[in-house]
């Protein structure tokens, strides 16, 4: 089973799986909410899950923001701030959709596959613009 499919099922169960910043190990909160078959798949793919989380360890704000956007749009991890932003700023939502179209044209056809290997200069420029817009929206919200 694909790593992102397993992670999405864990997140959608109401549990949380993440890389603990204190000890750099994968941790789970509310493990009891995870269906046994999903937990079994996670245990069988632990090293791949660990590698995936560690591949994000040094990611900057731009990359993490995009990951949150993908996770939200795919329904894996709901994010009220992103939801509010996309509802209030249709141009940013359309830019995000256009960014995913660029990735799709580069071969990203499966949401459970890591999109990062399909990025290119065009998607990177769009990602930078999305991040700028996200930061501006967050600052505007903080000033209210």
- Condensed to tens digits (0 to 9), the pLDDT of residues 17-44 reads 999 989 999 999 999 999 999 999 999 9
pLDDT at 141 over 80: no
The span from the CA of 6 to the CA of 45, in Å, is 9
pLDDT at 134 over 80: yes
pLDDT at 118 over 70: yes
pLDDT band at 144 (very low <50, low <70, confident <90, very high): low
| Encoded tokens for 13 | 């169960």
In sequence order, what are the residues at sequence separation of 6 or more whose Cβ sits closer than 8 angstroms to the Cβ of residue 4?
52, 111, 112, 113, 114
pLDDT at 143 over 60: no
pTM higher than 0.85 for the full model? yes
Taking a C-beta distance cutoff of 8 angstroms, is the pair 115, 70 a contact? Answer: yes
Q: What percent of the chain clears pLDDT 70, i.e. is strictly above it?
A: 97
pLDDT score for 140: 82
- Average pLDDT of 52-65? 93
Question: Mapping DSSP to helix (H, G, I), strand (E, B) and coil, where does residue 143 land?
Answer: coil
In sequence order, what are the residues at sequence separation of 6 or more whose Cβ sits closer than 8 angstroms to the Cβ of residue 138?
81
pLDDT score for 42: 96
Burial class (CB in 10 A: 0-12, 13-18, 19+), 43: exposed
């Amino acid at each position: 089973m694909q790593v992102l499919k397993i992670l999405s099922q864990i997140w959608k169960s109401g549990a949380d799986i993440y890389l603990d910043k204190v000890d750099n190990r994968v941790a789970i909160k509310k493990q009891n909410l995870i269906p046994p078959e999903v937990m079994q798949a996670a245990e069988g793919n632990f090293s791949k899950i660990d590698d995936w989380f560690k591949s994000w360890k040094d990611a900057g704000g731009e990359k993490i923001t995009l990951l949150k956007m993908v996770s939200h749009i795919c329904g894996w991890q709901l994010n009220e701030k992103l939801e509010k932003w996309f509802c209030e700023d249709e141009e940013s939502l359309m830019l995000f959709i256009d960014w995913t179209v660029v990735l799709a044209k580069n071969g990203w056809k499966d949401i459970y596959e890591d999109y990062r290997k399909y990025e290119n200069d065009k998607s990177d420029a769009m990602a930078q613009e999305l991040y700028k817009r996200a930061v501006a929206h967050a600052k505007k919200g903080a000033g209210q």
